[in-house]
Amino acid sequence: MSDIEAERVYIFDTTLRDGEQSPGCSMNLEEKLKIAALLDEMGVDIIEAGFPMASKGDFESVNAIAKIVKNATVCGLSRAIKRDIEVCAEAIEPAAHRRIHTFISTSPLHMKHKLQMDEDTVIEAIRESVSFANKFTDDVEWSAEDGSRTEDDFLCRAVETAINAGARTINIPDTVGYATPTDYSALITMLKNRVPNIDKAILSVHCHNDLGLAVANSLAGVNAGARQIECTINGIGERAGNAAMEEIIMAIRTRQNQYPYTNNIKTEMITKASRTLSKVTGFNVQPNKAIVGANAFAHESGIHQDGMLKHRGTYEIMTPESVGLTESNLVMGKHSGRHAFRAKLEDLGYTLGDNALNDAFARFKDLADQKKEIFDDDIIALMDDKSRIDNSHDIQFIDLVIHAGTDGPQTARISLSIDGKTSHAEASGNGPVDAMFKAIRDIYPHDDTDLLLYNVHAVTGGIDAQAEVTVRLQQNSHIVNGKGANVDTMIASAKAYVHALNKLSHIKHLAAANGEDEQPIYEVGP
């Protein structure tokens, strides 16, 4: 490898696999395709699209992603099991560049309790799985699960075996987020120094955030010689999550003196990627989250604002523009015309025909009657809400009357149209939201479904801000997020609940049409 190549760091995004695997982050096919296309456009080198053997749905989404990704390598995960690898190879087959990522645990704890395998058996499984994967592609990645808690001698032996069997990338996960930057740097250095064939593979870092050190560990690993970083948008992932891509990329860009590496990521797309993922999963990032939190570029105190006016460098180490954050401009109000509205929509990426434009303009005027100032984010919420309604066929929200306040009981009367037939129900509950959700259950019974999350988010500032509500429902193995937006939080809540029910109903119809059982083919495990 030449010196110039050695400076390049490859970005391996696992939002759609390790990220999606975390509770409540599941996405449907359409949502996964949207994220995959965005990652590809952003310049990610490798997209880990899923774990094809985990379920039929996972297989189909990896396969569909493999068909649409243009530049990135599409990767699928598989255990050290031949059938997993075959299924994975089939799923990624349509991709122009494909990678099989196979893994097995190497730590004493995992080998004894999870795998119940001894060291020699694990070594044999590595040899067999990597060479079998090599029959389908020459781009094979091997991971030592719980690598950071593995004994050095055995890890060296395992890595050497994987490289001899044909692995071109060796990933050393800090699966449980236990390592510190000092440990992790020493681990990568140890492998570089001791594994005789290490120059034949790229070393990769994969850090979980249980101690809040995932990004620091990843960067320490790269400084010790790793050249691939595994990460996720917004740091989503198992438990406390994975290393956040936006933090890694901006640390590299901002601190070139410490991290003199190049990568292909278009940093100006970071905000869009973060917001799109939040919208799709219903996981809003905390306001003070580095790079993508709502306050990450806000300067509140008088002293800071004064400094910023004198010189931006006083309190700003990166510009908001570098991550694609533009001021949420005040766009218009009730006097704005159709022409300006169309131009604004085009700016925001919505191209509409005349009829759709008239319809959107009417909804914009309604909103302008309720809300004095309309920002970009209001228009995006308005358009997204409409597309959700258009895609919700079985159950439609019609109207809602709420009685709330200190003079209980709180009641809700709701009208829904189910398959074209309008029904009404009234219920009381512990507050208006509970009452409304009960009324929805009366009209459309779904006792097999649990409410996992109810979240309200103000789209913009101000007391007249639109509320964007996320409702997460679970039915058997399916978890879906519903969204709704309105200046009235109760209406947004009803729309979000109905949206989630429509998604579940869609899953049911699909399963019935395919004569499928809805359970995963195999449990994801050792």
Residue closer to ligand KIV, measured from CB, 18 or 385:
18
Q: Which residue is listed with tokens 């004064």?
A: 306
Cβ closest to ligand KIV, residue 175 vs residue 502: 175
Helix (H) or strand (E) holding 418: strand 410-418
Q: Select from 57, 76, 173, 181 the one that contacts ligand KIV (CB under 6 A).
A: 173
Give me the residues paired with residue 12 across strands. Answer: 46, 230
Task: Give min distance, CB of 149 to Zn ion, in A.
Answer: 14
Least separation in angstroms between CB 360 and Zn ion: 42
Which residues are registered as beta bridge partners of 207? 174
Among residues 396, 341, 347, 350, which one has the least CA distance to residue 368?
341
Cβ at position 237, least distance to Zn ion in Å: 6
Give the phi and the psi of residue 474 in degrees, each rounded to 5. Answer: -120, 130
Gap between the Cα atoms of 361 and 33, Å rounded:
29
- 156 torsion bin: left (phi>0), alpha (psi -120 to 50), beta (else): alpha
Name the binder of 344 from Zn ion, ligand KIV, none, CB < 5-8 A by kind. Answer: none
Nearer to ligand KIV, 105 or 486 (CB): 105
Q: Which does 145 bind (CB under 5 to 8 A by kind): ligand KIV, Zn ion, none?
A: ligand KIV
Binding to ligand KIV (CB under 6 A) within 16-45 occurs at 18
How many other C-beta atoms lie within 10 A of the C-beta of residue 463? Answer: 6
Torsion of CA 79, 83, 87, 89, to 10 degrees: 80
Distance in angstroms (rounded) separating the CA atoms of residues 354 and 444? 36
> Residue from 55, 61, 78, 143 that binds ligand KIV (CB under 6 A)?
143
Contact region for ligand KIV (CB under 6 A) — 155-163, 170-178, 218-226, 372-380? 170-178
Two structure tokens written together for 98: 């494909």
Work out whether 103 is an interface residue with ligand KIV (CB under 6 A). yes
The smaller minimum CB distance to Zn ion, of residues 18 and 378, is found at: 18
Closer CB to ligand KIV, residue 166 or residue 173? 173
| Cα(282)–Cα(481) distance, integer angstroms | 6
Residue nearest to Zn ion (CB): 18
| Residue 377, binding choice from ligand KIV, Zn ion, none, Cβ under 5 to 8 Å by partner class | none
Q: Residue 238 is encoded by which pair of tokens?
A: 């198992």
By CB under 6 A, name the one of 98, 99, 110, 206 that touches ligand KIV: 206
Strand 421-429, strand 449-458: pairing: unpaired
As measured in angstroms, the least distance from the Cβ of 102 to ligand KIV is 9
Which range of residues in 123-131, 168-176, 379-387, 451-459 is near ligand KIV by CB under 6 A?
A: 168-176
Smallest separation (angstroms) from ligand KIV to the CB of 12: 10
Burial status of residue 189 (CB atoms within 10 A of its CB: 0-12, 13-18, 19 or more): middle
CB of 165 to Zn ion, least distance (A): 22
For position 489 contacting ligand KIV by CB under 6 A, the verdict is no
Contact yes or no for 206/172 (Cβ under 8 A): yes
- Stretch near ligand KIV under the rule CB under 6 A, chosen from 167-175, 294-302, 357-365, 410-418: 167-175
Nearer to ligand KIV by Cβ, of 113 and 393: the residue is: 113
427 has which bridge partners? Answer: 412
Contact by Cβ (8 Å): 203, 191: yes
Q: Kindly state the smallest distance separating residue 55's Cβ from ligand KIV, in Å.
A: 16
Element (H, E) at 355: helix 354-370
- Cβ 214 to ligand KIV, closest distance in Å? 11
- DSSP SS3 for 319: coil
Residue 59's binding partner among Zn ion, ligand KIV, none (Cβ under 5 to 8 angstroms by kind) is none
Q: How far is the CB of 207 from Zn ion (least distance, A)?
A: 8
Q: Compute the chain's Rg from CA coordinates.
A: 25
Q: In what order do the strands lie in the sheet with 449-458?
A: 449-458, 467-475, 478-486
Q: Which position among 45, 145, 160, 247 is part of the footprint of ligand KIV (CB under 6 A)?
A: 145
Tokens standing for 297? 């570029």
Shortest distance (Å) from residue 25 CB to Zn ion: 13
Q: Verify binding: residue 18, Zn ion, rule CB under 5 A.
A: yes
Strand partners, 474: 450, 479
378, interface contact from ligand KIV, Zn ion, none, CB < 5-8 Å by kind:
none
**At 520, phi and psi to the nearest 5?**
-60, 150
Residue 487 is given by DSSP the state S
Residue 12 found at the interface with ligand KIV (CB under 6 A): no
Residue closer to ligand KIV, measured from CB, 208 or 457: 208
Burial class (CB within 10 angstroms; exposed 0-12, middle 13-18, buried 19+) of 259 = middle
Q: Could you give the string, one character per residue 496-515, with x where binding to ligand KIV holds by CB under 6 A and - elsewhere? A: --------------------
Establish whether the linkage from the previous residue to 409 is cis, with ω within 30° of 0.
yes
Interaction of residue 246 with Zn ion, rule CB under 5 A: no
Segment near ligand KIV (CB under 6 A); pick from 128-136, 171-179, 254-262, 463-471: 171-179
235 binds, among Zn ion, ligand KIV, none (CB under 5 to 8 A by kind): none
| Cα angle: 512, vertex 516, 520; to 5 degrees | 130
Assess 160 for contact with Zn ion (CB under 5 A): no
Cβ 308 vs Cβ 315: under 8 Å: yes
Tell which positions 39-68 bind Zn ion, by CB under 5 A. none
**Whose Cβ is closer to Zn ion: residue 104's or residue 427's?**
104
Return all residues near 515 (Cβ < 8 A) that are at least 6 apart: none
Q: Enumerate binding residues for ligand KIV (CB under 6 A).
A: 18, 103, 143, 145, 171, 173, 175, 206, 208
Q: Enumerate binding residues for Zn ion (CB under 5 A).
A: 18
